[in-house]
């Protein structure tokens, strides 16, 4: 195509310079190609150059424009090597010349010439095509914004109550912690991982791009709410009630479904379910929970004002459930006499009279890293949160927290045999981390599946930062009403 436009063929093979020549071929200034250096913007610039190039070869219809973007290399090879296809000149200059003639005729009040020019407009689009292009552009723009800049997210569970409630709709920035370009590229726009009603995955696992992240505006800090991909969401079992991971099945923490081999769905990282939790521990921190109080590096941290725990509520008369709902007690999250409450709700209920409210003790149960430690959700750790570049000594007794990091997140071959640890075939007594990791916990501390259950969140799983609540329904259902006081409020206003 370069040669047909009068340019030497070698210019098409020089990275960077070829886009400058390409810009001139379609009639733009060569420095228009400089926009290709800007992430995200370059997608639109590239698409525009593709369409203008085929139009410079006389291909003006919708399907040729679409083909030039979707299958550029193949289509360009066809136009370049097909002897019947000829370069007609820079399309941008031709359009500019036509518009100049039309404008001059209008200014001179040459009605007949204006009508003639409009009737013979070689660039005119049909009404149907303009509608189709408008719809495609709207979908593409919305998908583009969702992929790279901002995504809407609905709080599905009560794990972050009472700060973020079931039914809150969040606007989540993907730019603050660094834009993560899509890795799964064959997908239905505007859908995350499931096709409604059909109950099928909305993407193809291949082709697939490698993980990349653009520079961030800010770093994750202690107590920041963060949206991320569910770390154990690579292999899931979907039920009408909820989605379980294969690891839930192995731990016996899901209903018995018999043979699950045909029910397991494998998901790439960027298509794993979205979770939102509060970042409690940063890379390099040491975390311990002592009697419900989180300690970081030996110091007690400040808890969210509306942190919740499980309480046993007993009353000599039936509880006024309507009053509890007025105080934002989530009855769907409670099983009388056990309620998930924050300190303010506890005091209000105690003030009802003839009511006792007592903290529900938490028993020992299997928790991450599942090495038979006698830990509870209230008394947990200490545990180290890995930091990129840090090296830890590993033995059979200490490797449990790092197994999934070494084997799954950082793609090594981990084998344990005869009391020895082998990484990529070599016996190892230490390991150096390739990524940063975070410790995430819900504010509903006694009813949250979080890092205490599935461990660390790798940096490449981070999706974005919640900015504000743009809509909120009571308990996740419009039938229950709208929480008007939460609409267009900051994501951290109610902490």
Element (H, E) at 45: helix 41-55
- pLDDT-above-90 percentage for the chain: 59
pLDDT band at 62 (very low <50, low <70, confident <90, very high): confident
0.95 cut: is pTM over it? no
CB 352 within 8 A of CB 360: no
Tokens read off for 487: 């609409």
Is the pLDDT confidence value at 55 over 80?
A: yes
Q: Would residue 353 be called left, alpha or beta, if left means φ above 0 and alpha means ψ between -120 and 50 degrees?
A: left
Indicate whether 442 pLDDT > 90.
Answer: yes
Q: Report residue 73 as tokens.
A: 């290399």
- C-alpha R_g of the chain: 29
Q: Bridge partners of 358?
A: 312
Would you say 90 and 26 are in contact if contact means Cβ atoms under 8 Å apart?
yes
Please calculate the CA angle 459-277-361 and round it to the nearest 5 degrees.
125
Handedness of CA 172, 173, 178, 183 (dihedral sign): positive
Tell me how far apart the alpha carbons of residues 132 and 386 are, in angstroms, rounded to a whole number. Answer: 50
C-alpha torsion angle, residues 87, 88, 92, 97 (rounded to 10): 160
- Cα separation of 306 and 374, whole Å? 28
**Average predicted confidence (pLDDT) for the chain:** 91
CA distance 75 to 22: 16
Strand partners, 439: 281
Q: Nearest-5° angle of CA 35, CA 39, CA 43?
A: 70
pLDDT confidence bin for 120, thresholds 50/70/90: confident
Res 127: pLDDT: 77
Q: Is the per-residue pLDDT at 133 higher than 90?
A: no
3 state DSSP class of 31: helix
Shortest CA distance to 182 belongs to which of 40, 313, 295, 86?
Answer: 40
Q: Report the pLDDT averaged over residues 308-322.
A: 90
Q: Which of 54-68, 243-257, 310-324 has the lowest mean pLDDT?
A: 243-257
């Amino acid at each position: 195509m370069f040669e047909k436009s009068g340019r030497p063929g070698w210019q098409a093979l020089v990275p960077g310079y070829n886009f400058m020549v390409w810009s001139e071929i379609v009639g733009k200034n060569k420095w228009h190609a400089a926009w290709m250096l800007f992430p995200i913007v370059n997608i639109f610039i590239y698409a525009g150059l593709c369409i203008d190039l085929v139009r410079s070869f006389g291909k003006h219809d919708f399907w040729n424009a679409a083909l030039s973007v979707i299958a550029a290399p193949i289509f360009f090879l066809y136009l370049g090597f097909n002897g019947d296809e000829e370069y007609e000149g820079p399309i941008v200059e031709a359009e500019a010349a036509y518009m100049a003639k039309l404008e001059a005729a209008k200014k001179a009040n040459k009605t007949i010439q204006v009508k003639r020019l409009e009737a013979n407009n070689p660039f005119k689009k049909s009404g149907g095509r303009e509608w189709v292009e408008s719809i495609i552009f709207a979908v593409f723009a919305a998908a583009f914004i969702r992929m790279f800049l901002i995504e809407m997210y609905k709080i599905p569970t009560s794990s972050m109550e009472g700060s973020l409630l079931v039914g809150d709709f969040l606007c989540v920035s993907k730019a603050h912690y660094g834009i993560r370009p899509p890795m799964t590229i064959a997908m239905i726009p505007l859908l995350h991982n499931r096709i409604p009603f059909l109950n099928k995955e909305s993407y193809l696992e291949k082709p697939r791009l490698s993980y990349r992240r653009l520079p961030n505006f800010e770093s994750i800090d202690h107590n920041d709410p963060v949206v991320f991909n569910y770390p154990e969401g690579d292999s899931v079992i979907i039920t009408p009630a909820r989605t379980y991971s294969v690891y839930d099945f192995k731990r016996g923490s899901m209903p018995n479904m018999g043979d699950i081999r045909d029910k397991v769905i494998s998901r790439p990282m960027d298509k794993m379910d979205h979770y939102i939790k509060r970042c409690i521990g940063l890379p390099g921190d040491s975390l311990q929970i002592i009697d419900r109080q989180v300690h970081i590096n030996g110091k007690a941290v400040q808890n969210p004002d509306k942190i919740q725990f499980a309480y046993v509520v007993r009353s000599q008369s039936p509880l006024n459930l309507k009053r509890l709902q007025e105080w934002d007690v989530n009855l769907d999250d409670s099983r009388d006499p056990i309620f998930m409450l924050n300190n303010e709700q506890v005091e209000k209920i105690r003030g009802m009279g003839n009511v006792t409210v007592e903290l529900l003790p938490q028993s020992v149960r299997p928790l991450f890293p599942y090495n038979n430690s006698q830990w509870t959700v209230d008394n947990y750790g200490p545990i180290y949160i890995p930091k990129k570049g840090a090296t830890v000594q590993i033995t059979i007794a200490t490797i449990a927290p790092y197994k999934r990091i070494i084997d799954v997140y950082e793609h090594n071959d981990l084998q344990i045999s005869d009391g020895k640890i082998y990484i990529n075939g070599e016996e190892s007594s230490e390991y150096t981390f390739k990524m940063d990791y975070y410790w995430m916990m819900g504010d509903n501390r006694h009813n949250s599946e979080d890092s205490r259950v599935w461990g660390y969140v790798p940096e490449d799983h981070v999706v974005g930062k919640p900015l504000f609540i743009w809509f909120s329904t009571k308990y996740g259902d419009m039938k229950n009403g709208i929480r008007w006081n939460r609409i267009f409020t900051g994501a951290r206003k109610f902490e």
